[in-house]
Amino acid sequence: MKPGSRSKGVTRKETKEALKPVDDKKLGKRKVAPPKADKTKAKKEKKAKKDPNKPKRPPSAFFVFLEEFRKTFKKENPNVKAVSAVGKAGGEKWKSLSAAEKAPYEAKAAKRKTEYEKLMNAYNKKQESSADEGDEASEKSTSEVHDDEEESVQEADEEDDEDEDDDDDDDDDE
């Protein structure tokens, strides 16, 4: 169809049709992966604040579905080595799923977000001292002095049967 219509910038087409700061043009590079240009830095201190544990955004239901879809897709198409192939196929199939089918994916995505929020909380705490103190040496009051962390949430997924009544899945998109 139209590759590049809303590549990545305009995700929303509603609200207004005049929504197109960057329609196409491949979006000159959505800026991903900053070139660690460290040359004049000389020392590896001060700026270049890299996030020690930057919580990456939780995968949306679509990505969750894609993860599984990719396996299936590649399984039947081991010759396909184009990421775009899966993306297109996945996108098409994704829209083919019904709300009930997307439900499990959304549920997972929702859980992912919950964890993300948690990570953000910790991440924010560290950033909390981002006032202007690039000296990591001045850390001691707000941060915990303990060096060990990462311990927590190790619970497996317990399938919680919450509501499972409707069996019939209608394509009730709208």
The site for DNA (CB under 7 A) is made up of: 1-4, 6-12, 15-16, 18-19, 21-22, 26-27, 29-36, 56-63, 66-67, 70, 74, 81-84, 86-88, 90-91, 94-95, 106, 109, 113, 116-117, 120
Q: Judged by CB, which is closer to DNA: 67, or 144?
A: 67
- CA contacts within 13 A on the Cβ side of 144: 6
Least gap, CB of 34 to DNA (angstroms): 5
Least gap, CB of 131 to DNA (angstroms): 15
- Asked whether 161 and 92 are in contact (CB, 8 A), the reply is no
Q: Judged by CB, which is closer to DNA: 30, or 125?
A: 30
Q: Which two three-digit tokens encode residue 140?
A: 């001691």
Q: Which two three-digit tokens encode residue 95?
A: 């829209």
Torsion of CA 169, 170, 171, 172, to 10 degrees: -110
Residue 44 CA to residue 90 CA, distance in Å, equals 42
Q: Judged by CB, which is closer to DNA: 51, or 136?
A: 51
Q: Judged by CB, which is closer to DNA: 21, or 52?
A: 21
